[in-house]
Chain A
Amino acid sequence: MKLDDETTTLRRIVYRVCGFLVLLALWQIAGKSGAGGKTLPALTDVLRVYTISGRRALLVRAALATSSSAGLGLLLGAVLGCATALIAQLLPLLSRGLNRLAVVVNAVPAIALGPILIVTAGREATPVLLAAIPVYFLLYVAASSGLRSTDSRLEQLFQASGADRWKRFIYLDSVSALPALLSGLKLAVSTAIIGAVVGEWFGAPTGLGIVILNTMQNFQIPLMWATLLVVAAISLSAYALIGLAERAVQRRLV
């Protein structure tokens, strides 16, 4: 990726902020005028939810629960996905079978697995597992292509220097795979959060998914929107964080 110079970066940020503000203003107008119907409250009404300490405490608790489910799922899916990619790389005989397995895992709609997971894995584990499944697939694909992206000249150097597979992996392939891995992780973060929220709908004890469900049933519209904003904020900040890591790695690997 080419790094733009500072002024264009600044301009891009200004554009983004402006676009975002326009969107928020439209929301506010639509909510206040009632043009969006009863289920679209004004932005200010949504934000007021955060000032109520009881609501705030509820949202913080739920956000922590959802974040930790999503985080655990992300970790689990990423570790398993990378491990599968590694096995496929080391044992080419298995790679075709593992590819199919990953595709099958991805093809099963996670939401359909929910009830089964509730019965087998339990209410607390379901959000974690539903977060882990799409992450597993994404990271398997990312790690596989990352492990294949090693510079052929460096491969020759390692071979001529008498590097065994393990040395080649730790000093060369693993580092070369990092950019692809981080791109995959960046995509995986939001799917992990979606997975965790959906997983909570099947009856987790707590979490943002549960709050969304309850507010819908009790018609607490501003709180529902406030919860959605929290989900979006978590998702976006995790995405941004990994984006930063990705850029730092790319700069190192030039």
Chain B
Amino acid sequence: MATIQLKGVSKTFQISRQRRVLALSAMDLAVEEGEFVALLGPSGCGKSTILHLVAGLDQPSTGLVLVGGLPPRELQSRHELGIAFQEHALLPWRTIVGNLELPFQIAGRTPDRERIASLIDLVGLKGFESARPSQLSGGMRQRTSIARALCLSPKLLLLDEPFGALDAVTRRSMNLELQRIWQQNRITTILVTHTVEEAIFLADRVLVMSGRPGRVIRELHVPFPRPRTVDITRLELFHRLVDELTLSLEPLTLSLDPTESLHET
């Protein structure tokens, strides 16, 4: 049985008294254990909504969300969920080490010094242990938040456009970093992104979504074996897949007319 299951999930947001927006409609999704799935789509296509539902930060309007056969809230209270947002969401008053101690403290455990040290090493932040987030670059902050997400060896890793706020060069090197980190851990992962290359490079499976109501319009099983290195981004097949998915994303720009995509009730 799949680790993550969405069955007939829809989500409606109340915009104002008369207006409601259907963000997701009759969504089915299954993610296997140890699988890396990328949700790819333009902003407003409901991909972040899916992530929030799986994280238990939002409740579906209809349908069922299960993680390991249990409601997401259960995973929260077991502290088995690692999450990283587009904005780093680090505690500004704590050092890097202090921020990595946080998941342990929330879970009521003693911070594991060795684990924290090895994670800092893993994300390449050695020597910055006692720096505070405001002293770090955007890329370094995101490394910290990914390290923090990994602290308690989560069953599930949720990445909500974690590199969305970074410049292209930093983003590329962060993709390489994440590839390396993930290959050492192989945690079930959902990555939300709007960058095609990022999705194909990192994921086992890419789901292309269209907006309002959000639904999957294309599924791609990425054919590249692991471990993957930067070399695959130079393959012709890689570029062909990027072009294909980019094309499948493109018609969406035509359907972004608000009168058409808003479902009023």
CA distance A252 to B93 in the complex (A): 5
How many contacts between A and B, using CB within 8 angstroms?
58
Q: Known: A157-B83, A157-B85. Contact between A162 and B93, CB under 8 A?
A: no
Query: Among the listed B83, B87, B105, B134, which residue makes an inter-chain contact with A160, where contact means beta carbons less than 8 Å apart?
Result: B83
B134-A254 in contact (CB<8A): yes
Give chain A residues whose Cβ lies under 8 Å from the Cβ of B92: 252-254
Q: How far is the CB of B65 from chain A (nearest CB, A)?
A: 14
Q: Which residue of A lies closest to B72 (CB)?
A: A160
Give chain B residues whose Cβ lies under 8 Å from the Cβ of A175: 91, 93
Does residue A38 face the partner (Cβ distance < 8 Å to B)?
no
Does residue A8 face the partner (Cβ distance < 8 Å to B)?
no
Q: Known: A159-B57, A162-B76. Contact between A167 and B105, CB under 8 A?
A: yes
Sorting the interface of chain B by its residue count into under 10, 10 to 19, 20 to 34 or 35 or more gives 20 to 34
- Proximity bits, B150-181, A CB within 8 Å = 1, else 0: 00000000100000000000000000000000
CA distance A221 to B83 in the complex (A): 69
A160-B76 in contact (CB<8A): yes
Sorting the interface of chain A by its residue count into under 10, 10 to 19, 20 to 34 or 35 or more gives 10 to 19
B106-A162 in contact (CB<8A): yes
Does residue B81 face the partner (Cβ distance < 8 Å to A)?
yes
CA distance A83 to B55 in the complex (A): 32
CA distance A156 to B87 in the complex (A): 12
Q: Which residue of B lies closest to A161 (CB)?
A: B106
Give chain A residues whose Cβ lies under 8 Å from the Cβ of B158: 160
Does residue A108 face the partner (Cβ distance < 8 Å to B)?
no
A253-B93 in contact (CB<8A): yes
Does residue A16 face the partner (Cβ distance < 8 Å to B)?
no
Q: Known: A162-B79, A162-B107. Contact between A157 and B134, CB under 8 A?
A: no
Q: How far is the CB of A153 from chain B (nearest CB, A)?
A: 4
- Proximity bits, A230-254, B CB within 8 Å = 1, else 0: 0000000000000000000000111
Q: Which residue of B lies closest to A158 (CB)?
A: B106
Give chain A residues whose Cβ lies under 8 Å from the Cβ of B134: 254
B81-A162 in contact (CB<8A): yes
CA distance A167 to B93 in the complex (A): 16
Q: Which residue of B lies closest to A163 (CB)?
A: B106
Q: How far is the CB of A226 from chain B (nearest CB, A)?
A: 44
Does residue A171 face the partner (Cβ distance < 8 Å to B)?
yes
Q: Known: A157-B85, A160-B55, A254-B134. Contact between A171 and B102, CB under 8 A?
A: yes
Does residue A172 face the partner (Cβ distance < 8 Å to B)?
yes
Most chain A beta carbons < 10 A, residue from B81, B92, B106: B106
CA distance A151 to B92 in the complex (A): 11
B91-A160 in contact (CB<8A): no
Give residues 136-160 of A contacting B (CB, 8 Å).
151, 153-154, 156-160
Q: Known: A161-B76, A162-B81, A252-B93. Contact between A156 and B106, CB under 8 A?
A: no
Q: How far is the CB of A101 from chain B (nearest CB, A)?
A: 32
Most chain B beta carbons < 10 A, residue from A157, A167, A253: A157
Give chain B residues whose Cβ lies under 8 Å from the Cβ of A161: 76, 79, 81, 83, 102-103, 106-107
Q: Which residue of A lies closest to B133 (CB)?
A: A254
Give chain B residues whose Cβ lies under 8 Å from the Cβ of A253: 92-93
- Proximity bits, B65-88, A CB within 8 Å = 1, else 0: 000000000011111010101010
- Proximity bits, B85-101, A CB within 8 Å = 1, else 0: 10101011100000000
B105-A162 in contact (CB<8A): no
CA distance A157 to B89 in the complex (A): 7
Q: How far is the CB of A208 from chain B (nearest CB, A)?
A: 38
B76-A153 in contact (CB<8A): no
Q: Known: A163-B106, A171-B106, A254-B134. Contact between A156 and B57, CB under 8 A?
A: yes
The interface of chain A, by Cβ under 8 A from chain B, is: 151, 153-154, 156-163, 167, 171-172, 175, 252-254
The interface of chain B, by Cβ under 8 A from chain A, is: 55-57, 75-79, 81, 83, 85, 87, 89, 91-93, 102-103, 105-108, 134, 158
Name 16 interchain pairs, CB-CB below 8 A, sorted by A: A151-B89, A154-B91, A156-B57, A156-B89, A157-B85, A159-B56, A159-B76, A161-B76, A161-B81, A161-B103, A162-B77, A162-B78, A167-B106, A171-B91, A171-B102, A253-B92
14 additional A-B residue pairs with CB within 8 Å, beyond A154-B91, A252-B93: A153-B85, A153-B89, A154-B89, A156-B55, A156-B89, A159-B56, A160-B81, A162-B78, A162-B106, A167-B106, A172-B91, A175-B91, A253-B92, A254-B134
